[in-house]
Amino acid sequence: MLPQLKQVAKRSGGLVRAVRATYPALSWVNNRPAVYTRVAPYLAGMEFDEVRLTGRNNEPEAHLRRTKRLLDVHNADALVLGAGSGAELGLWERQLPRSLTATDFFAHGDAWRAHRGARLACADVRALPFADASFDLVASTALLEHVDGVDRAVREMARVTRPDGLVFANFGPLYHTHGGAHFEGAYEHLWMSDEQFEHYLVARGIPTEMEDGLVWLRNGMFSRLRYTDYLEIFKRHCQIEHLVLAVSQPALRYKREHPHEWRALTKRYAEEDLLTFSITVWLRPRPTPRPRLPRCGEGERELDQVAR
Protein backbone atom coordinates (compact mmCIF):
# COMPACT_ATOMS: atom_id res chain seq x y z
CA MET A 1 0.00 0.00 0.00
CA LEU A 2 2.77 2.42 0.93
CA PRO A 3 4.66 1.99 -2.39
CA GLN A 4 1.40 2.67 -4.25
CA LEU A 5 0.83 5.86 -2.27
CA LYS A 6 4.36 6.97 -3.06
CA GLN A 7 3.76 6.45 -6.76
CA VAL A 8 0.53 8.47 -6.62
CA ALA A 9 2.33 11.25 -4.73
CA LYS A 10 5.13 11.36 -7.33
CA ARG A 11 2.56 11.86 -10.10
CA SER A 12 1.18 14.93 -8.33
CA GLY A 13 3.30 17.88 -9.41
CA GLY A 14 1.99 20.15 -6.66
CA LEU A 15 2.67 17.61 -3.93
CA VAL A 16 6.18 16.95 -5.25
CA ARG A 17 6.94 20.69 -5.19
CA ALA A 18 5.54 21.00 -1.68
CA VAL A 19 7.70 18.13 -0.42
CA ARG A 20 10.79 19.47 -2.14
CA ALA A 21 10.19 22.86 -0.52
CA THR A 22 11.05 21.20 2.81
CA TYR A 23 14.38 19.87 1.53
CA PRO A 24 16.50 22.98 2.36
CA ALA A 25 15.36 22.84 6.00
CA LEU A 26 16.08 19.11 6.21
CA SER A 27 19.44 19.70 4.56
CA TRP A 28 20.27 22.38 7.14
CA VAL A 29 19.55 19.91 9.94
CA ASN A 30 21.60 17.15 8.31
CA ASN A 31 24.53 19.53 7.89
CA ARG A 32 24.96 19.99 11.62
CA PRO A 33 28.17 18.12 12.58
CA ALA A 34 26.37 16.54 15.53
CA VAL A 35 23.92 14.96 13.06
CA TYR A 36 26.11 13.81 10.20
CA THR A 37 28.95 12.51 12.38
CA ARG A 38 26.45 10.38 14.30
CA VAL A 39 25.24 8.84 11.04
CA ALA A 40 28.67 8.60 9.40
CA PRO A 41 31.53 9.28 11.85
CA TYR A 42 34.13 9.19 9.06
CA LEU A 43 32.84 12.57 7.84
CA ALA A 44 34.55 14.31 10.78
CA GLY A 45 37.86 14.06 8.94
CA MET A 46 36.57 14.92 5.46
CA GLU A 47 36.81 18.18 3.49
CA PHE A 48 33.52 19.46 2.01
CA ASP A 49 31.08 22.39 2.22
CA GLU A 50 27.85 20.39 2.55
CA VAL A 51 26.89 16.79 3.05
CA ARG A 52 23.85 14.90 1.80
CA LEU A 53 22.74 11.96 3.92
CA THR A 54 19.83 11.26 1.55
CA GLY A 55 18.96 12.19 -2.03
CA ARG A 56 16.88 15.13 -0.83
CA ASN A 57 18.12 18.51 -2.08
CA ASN A 58 20.62 16.69 -4.27
CA GLU A 59 18.52 16.63 -7.43
CA PRO A 60 19.32 18.49 -10.71
CA GLU A 61 16.94 21.35 -9.88
CA ALA A 62 18.78 22.02 -6.61
CA HIS A 63 22.12 22.01 -8.44
CA LEU A 64 20.72 24.42 -11.01
CA ARG A 65 19.60 26.86 -8.31
CA ARG A 66 23.12 27.10 -6.93
CA THR A 67 24.59 27.36 -10.43
CA LYS A 68 22.31 30.33 -11.12
CA ARG A 69 23.44 32.01 -7.93
CA LEU A 70 27.04 31.75 -9.10
CA LEU A 71 26.56 32.58 -12.78
CA ASP A 72 24.09 34.32 -15.09
CA VAL A 73 23.15 31.18 -17.03
CA HIS A 74 20.73 33.00 -19.35
CA ASN A 75 23.57 35.13 -20.77
CA ALA A 76 26.13 32.33 -20.81
CA ASP A 77 27.79 30.37 -23.57
CA ALA A 78 27.28 26.88 -22.12
CA LEU A 79 29.05 23.59 -22.82
CA VAL A 80 27.53 20.30 -21.59
CA LEU A 81 29.97 17.39 -21.52
CA GLY A 82 29.00 13.73 -21.57
CA ALA A 83 25.54 14.57 -22.84
CA GLY A 84 24.82 10.98 -23.92
CA SER A 85 21.67 10.75 -26.01
CA GLY A 86 20.62 14.21 -24.78
CA ALA A 87 18.30 13.36 -21.90
CA GLU A 88 20.02 15.88 -19.64
CA LEU A 89 20.06 18.67 -22.21
CA GLY A 90 16.44 19.61 -21.57
CA LEU A 91 17.33 21.14 -18.21
CA TRP A 92 19.89 23.44 -19.83
CA GLU A 93 17.79 24.15 -22.93
CA ARG A 94 14.99 25.48 -20.71
CA GLN A 95 17.40 28.06 -19.26
CA LEU A 96 17.77 29.60 -22.74
CA PRO A 97 21.52 30.27 -22.54
CA ARG A 98 23.09 32.53 -25.13
CA SER A 99 24.51 29.44 -26.82
CA LEU A 100 24.47 25.73 -26.01
CA THR A 101 27.08 23.21 -27.12
CA ALA A 102 27.10 19.56 -26.08
CA THR A 103 29.50 16.68 -26.58
CA ASP A 104 29.74 12.97 -25.86
CA PHE A 105 32.40 10.33 -26.40
CA PHE A 106 29.90 8.27 -28.41
CA ALA A 107 27.71 9.45 -31.31
CA HIS A 108 23.92 9.52 -30.82
CA GLY A 109 22.81 10.72 -34.26
CA ASP A 110 19.03 10.22 -34.22
CA ALA A 111 18.62 11.30 -30.60
CA TRP A 112 20.82 14.37 -31.10
CA ARG A 113 18.78 15.58 -34.05
CA ALA A 114 15.87 16.18 -31.67
CA HIS A 115 17.89 18.92 -29.92
CA ARG A 116 17.93 21.58 -32.59
CA GLY A 117 18.79 24.39 -30.20
CA ALA A 118 22.15 22.84 -29.33
CA ARG A 119 25.31 22.22 -31.29
CA LEU A 120 26.28 18.57 -30.67
CA ALA A 121 29.45 16.71 -31.54
CA CYS A 122 31.60 13.73 -30.57
CA ALA A 123 34.56 14.73 -28.43
CA ASP A 124 36.92 13.32 -25.83
CA VAL A 125 36.72 15.38 -22.63
CA ARG A 126 40.47 14.84 -22.20
CA ALA A 127 41.18 16.73 -25.45
CA LEU A 128 38.34 19.15 -26.16
CA PRO A 129 38.24 20.67 -29.67
CA PHE A 130 37.59 24.21 -28.43
CA ALA A 131 39.78 27.27 -28.02
CA ASP A 132 40.87 28.52 -24.63
CA ALA A 133 38.24 30.50 -22.70
CA SER A 134 35.38 29.64 -25.09
CA PHE A 135 32.57 29.16 -22.54
CA ASP A 136 31.09 30.79 -19.48
CA LEU A 137 29.71 27.51 -18.14
CA VAL A 138 31.10 23.99 -18.55
CA ALA A 139 28.74 21.42 -17.03
CA SER A 140 28.69 17.65 -16.70
CA THR A 141 26.54 15.05 -14.98
CA ALA A 142 27.54 11.40 -14.41
CA LEU A 143 30.73 11.89 -16.42
CA LEU A 144 33.89 12.02 -14.30
CA GLU A 145 33.39 8.57 -12.75
CA HIS A 146 33.72 7.21 -16.31
CA VAL A 147 36.90 9.00 -17.36
CA ASP A 148 40.27 7.27 -17.47
CA GLY A 149 42.42 10.35 -17.00
CA VAL A 150 40.40 12.70 -14.79
CA ASP A 151 43.34 15.08 -14.36
CA ARG A 152 43.47 15.76 -18.09
CA ALA A 153 39.70 16.10 -18.24
CA VAL A 154 39.52 18.70 -15.45
CA ARG A 155 42.47 20.56 -16.94
CA GLU A 156 40.60 20.73 -20.27
CA MET A 157 37.37 21.82 -18.58
CA ALA A 158 39.26 24.64 -16.86
CA ARG A 159 41.08 25.58 -20.07
CA VAL A 160 37.94 26.14 -22.16
CA THR A 161 36.19 28.09 -19.35
CA ARG A 162 36.48 31.88 -19.28
CA PRO A 163 38.32 33.40 -16.30
CA ASP A 164 35.09 34.54 -14.63
CA GLY A 165 33.20 31.41 -15.71
CA LEU A 166 32.09 28.30 -13.85
CA VAL A 167 32.74 24.55 -14.05
CA PHE A 168 29.96 22.36 -12.66
CA ALA A 169 30.27 18.59 -12.18
CA ASN A 170 27.93 16.11 -10.52
CA PHE A 171 29.03 12.48 -10.61
CA GLY A 172 28.67 9.14 -8.86
CA PRO A 173 28.54 6.47 -7.69
CA LEU A 174 32.25 6.54 -6.98
CA TYR A 175 33.84 3.22 -7.84
CA HIS A 176 34.63 1.95 -4.33
CA THR A 177 31.19 2.46 -2.86
CA HIS A 178 28.15 0.17 -2.73
CA GLY A 179 27.25 -0.74 -6.33
CA GLY A 180 30.03 1.56 -7.53
CA ALA A 181 30.58 -0.46 -10.72
CA HIS A 182 27.05 0.48 -11.86
CA PHE A 183 25.42 -2.84 -11.05
CA GLU A 184 22.64 -4.06 -8.76
CA GLY A 185 24.96 -5.49 -6.16
CA ALA A 186 27.05 -4.35 -3.21
CA TYR A 187 30.84 -4.68 -3.09
CA GLU A 188 31.36 -7.79 -5.21
CA HIS A 189 33.34 -5.75 -7.76
CA LEU A 190 36.01 -4.96 -5.15
CA TRP A 191 36.74 -8.65 -4.49
CA MET A 192 37.05 -9.66 -8.15
CA SER A 193 39.42 -9.02 -11.03
CA ASP A 194 37.89 -7.25 -14.04
CA GLU A 195 37.71 -10.58 -15.89
CA GLN A 196 35.96 -12.28 -12.98
CA PHE A 197 33.55 -9.40 -12.60
CA GLU A 198 32.69 -9.46 -16.31
CA HIS A 199 31.88 -13.20 -16.10
CA TYR A 200 29.81 -12.46 -12.98
CA LEU A 201 27.70 -9.82 -14.75
CA VAL A 202 27.22 -11.95 -17.86
CA ALA A 203 26.12 -14.93 -15.77
CA ARG A 204 23.57 -12.80 -13.93
CA GLY A 205 22.17 -11.52 -17.22
CA ILE A 206 20.32 -8.58 -15.65
CA PRO A 207 19.39 -6.23 -18.55
CA THR A 208 20.17 -2.98 -16.72
CA GLU A 209 23.60 -4.30 -15.70
CA MET A 210 24.35 -5.53 -19.23
CA GLU A 211 23.47 -2.10 -20.65
CA ASP A 212 25.24 -0.10 -17.95
CA GLY A 213 27.96 -1.66 -15.80
CA LEU A 214 29.10 -4.22 -18.38
CA VAL A 215 29.42 -1.55 -21.09
CA TRP A 216 31.57 0.72 -18.91
CA LEU A 217 33.70 -2.23 -17.80
CA ARG A 218 34.39 -3.52 -21.30
CA ASN A 219 35.30 -0.04 -22.52
CA GLY A 220 37.64 0.62 -19.60
CA MET A 221 35.49 3.55 -18.50
CA PHE A 222 35.72 3.52 -14.71
CA SER A 223 38.03 6.15 -13.25
CA ARG A 224 38.43 4.21 -9.94
CA LEU A 225 39.63 7.35 -8.17
CA ARG A 226 38.92 7.99 -4.51
CA TYR A 227 37.34 11.09 -3.02
CA THR A 228 40.68 12.59 -2.01
CA ASP A 229 42.07 11.95 -5.51
CA TYR A 230 39.27 13.99 -7.09
CA LEU A 231 39.74 16.74 -4.52
CA GLU A 232 43.46 16.99 -5.28
CA ILE A 233 42.78 17.22 -9.03
CA PHE A 234 40.13 19.91 -8.61
CA LYS A 235 42.50 22.03 -6.52
CA ARG A 236 45.31 21.59 -9.03
CA HIS A 237 43.39 23.19 -11.89
CA CYS A 238 40.60 25.20 -10.23
CA GLN A 239 39.45 27.01 -7.15
CA ILE A 240 36.67 25.12 -5.39
CA GLU A 241 33.64 27.39 -5.05
CA HIS A 242 31.39 24.83 -3.34
CA LEU A 243 31.50 21.06 -2.87
CA VAL A 244 28.74 18.67 -1.78
CA LEU A 245 29.51 15.12 -0.65
CA ALA A 246 26.74 12.51 -0.65
CA VAL A 247 26.76 9.45 1.60
CA SER A 248 25.46 6.13 0.26
CA GLN A 249 22.39 4.96 2.16
CA PRO A 250 22.69 1.37 0.81
CA ALA A 251 26.30 1.36 2.02
CA LEU A 252 25.25 2.42 5.52
CA ARG A 253 22.65 -0.37 5.55
CA TYR A 254 25.22 -2.90 4.38
CA LYS A 255 27.57 -1.80 7.18
CA ARG A 256 24.83 -2.39 9.77
CA GLU A 257 23.55 -5.67 8.35
CA HIS A 258 26.87 -7.33 7.41
CA PRO A 259 29.37 -6.50 10.18
CA HIS A 260 31.68 -9.44 9.37
CA GLU A 261 31.93 -8.57 5.68
CA TRP A 262 32.33 -4.90 6.57
CA ARG A 263 35.31 -5.61 8.79
CA ALA A 264 36.90 -7.54 5.94
CA LEU A 265 36.30 -4.64 3.52
CA THR A 266 37.77 -2.04 5.86
CA LYS A 267 40.98 -4.05 6.07
CA ARG A 268 41.47 -3.31 2.37
CA TYR A 269 39.68 0.02 1.85
CA ALA A 270 39.13 3.20 3.83
CA GLU A 271 35.61 3.62 5.19
CA GLU A 272 35.33 7.03 3.53
CA ASP A 273 35.76 5.36 0.12
CA LEU A 274 33.26 2.60 0.89
CA LEU A 275 30.58 5.04 2.06
CA THR A 276 31.01 8.12 -0.16
CA PHE A 277 28.48 7.94 -2.98
CA SER A 278 28.86 11.06 -5.11
CA ILE A 279 30.42 14.49 -5.50
CA THR A 280 28.80 17.70 -6.72
CA VAL A 281 31.22 20.56 -7.22
CA TRP A 282 31.30 24.11 -8.56
CA LEU A 283 34.73 25.32 -9.66
CA ARG A 284 36.37 28.52 -10.89
CA PRO A 285 39.28 28.03 -13.33
CA ARG A 286 42.64 29.05 -11.94
CA PRO A 287 44.27 31.95 -13.78
CA THR A 288 46.81 30.63 -16.25
CA PRO A 289 50.25 31.92 -15.26
CA ARG A 290 51.78 34.12 -17.92
CA PRO A 291 55.52 34.23 -18.61
CA ARG A 292 57.20 37.28 -17.10
CA LEU A 293 58.26 39.75 -19.77
CA PRO A 294 61.47 41.74 -19.22
CA ARG A 295 61.04 45.39 -18.27
CA CYS A 296 62.23 47.96 -20.71
CA GLY A 297 66.04 47.96 -20.72
CA GLU A 298 66.51 44.59 -18.98
CA GLY A 299 67.17 42.76 -22.22
CA GLU A 300 69.70 45.35 -23.34
CA ARG A 301 71.64 45.10 -20.04
CA GLU A 302 71.76 41.29 -20.30
CA LEU A 303 73.02 41.46 -23.91
CA ASP A 304 75.60 44.02 -22.84
CA GLN A 305 76.86 41.73 -20.08
CA VAL A 306 77.11 38.81 -22.51
CA ALA A 307 79.02 40.96 -24.98
CA ARG A 308 81.55 41.84 -22.29
pLDDT tens, position by position, 245-286: 999 999 999 999 999 999 999 999 999 999 999 999 999 998
Tell me which DSSP letter residue 115 carries.
Answer: -
Q: Is 13 part of a structural domain of the chain?
A: no
Quick check: 95 and 74 in contact, CB under 8 A? yes
Q: What is the rounded (10 degree) CA torsion for 172, 176, 179, 185?
A: 170
Q: What does the mean pLDDT of the chain come to?
A: 88
Quick check: 180 and 223 in contact, CB under 8 A? no
Predicted confidence band at 135 (pLDDT cuts at 50, 70, 90)?
very high
Residue 84 to residue 124: CA distance in whole angstroms: 12
Q: Is 14 part of a structural domain of the chain?
A: no
Residue 4 to residue 20: CA distance in whole angstroms: 19
Q: Is the peptide bond before 129 cis (omega within 30 degrees of 0)?
A: no
Entry pTM = 0.85
Which domain, by its residues, includes 279? 47-173+223-247+274-284
What CATH code is carried by the domain that includes residue 105?
3.40.50.150
Number of residues assigned to the chain? 308
- For β-strands 135-141 and 238-247, DSSP reports them as unpaired
Q: Percentage of the chain with pLDDT > 90?
A: 70
- For β-strands 276-285 and 238-247, DSSP reports them as antiparallel
Q: Is 94 part of a structural domain of the chain?
A: yes
What is the identity of the amino acid at 270? Answer: A
- Residue 281's alpha-carbon distances to 98, 160, 235, 273, in angstroms, are 23, 17, 11, 17
Q: Is 133 part of a structural domain of the chain?
A: yes
pLDDT reported for residue 307:
36
Q: Is 159 part of a structural domain of the chain?
A: yes
Predicted confidence band at 214 (pLDDT cuts at 50, 70, 90)?
very high
pLDDT reported for residue 6:
54
Q: Is 56 part of a structural domain of the chain?
A: yes
For the range 226-233, what are the long-range contacts, defined as Cβ-Cβ under 8 Å and sequence gap of 24 or more? 226/174, 226/176, 226/270, 226/272, 226/273, 227/46, 227/174, 227/272, 227/273, 227/276, 227/279, 229/150, 230/144, 230/150, 230/279, 231/47, 233/150, 233/151, 233/154
For the range 22-31, what are the long-range contacts, defined as Cβ-Cβ under 8 Å and sequence gap of 24 or more? 23/56, 23/57, 23/62, 24/57, 26/54, 26/56, 26/57, 27/52, 27/56, 27/57, 30/54
Q: Mean pLDDT throughout 126-131?
A: 97
Question: Reduced to 3 states, what is the DSSP secondary structure of residue 142?
Answer: coil
Q: Is 115 part of a structural domain of the chain?
A: yes
Predicted confidence band at 299 (pLDDT cuts at 50, 70, 90)?
very low
Quick check: 91 and 60 in contact, CB under 8 A? yes
pLDDT reported for residue 196:
98
3-state helix vs strand vs coil in the chain, percent to 5: 45, 20, 35
What is the tally of structural domains in the chain? 1
pLDDT at residue 106 greater than cutoff 60: yes
Question: How many other β-carbons are positioned within 10 Å of the β-carbon of residue 260?
Answer: 7
Residue 33 to residue 27: CA distance in whole angstroms: 12
What is the identity of the amino acid at 303? Answer: L
pLDDT at residue 1 greater than cutoff 60: no
Q: What is the rounded (10 degree) CA torsion for 59, 61, 66, 71?
A: 140
Q: Is 37 part of a structural domain of the chain?
A: no
Residue 250 to residue 248: CA distance in whole angstroms: 6
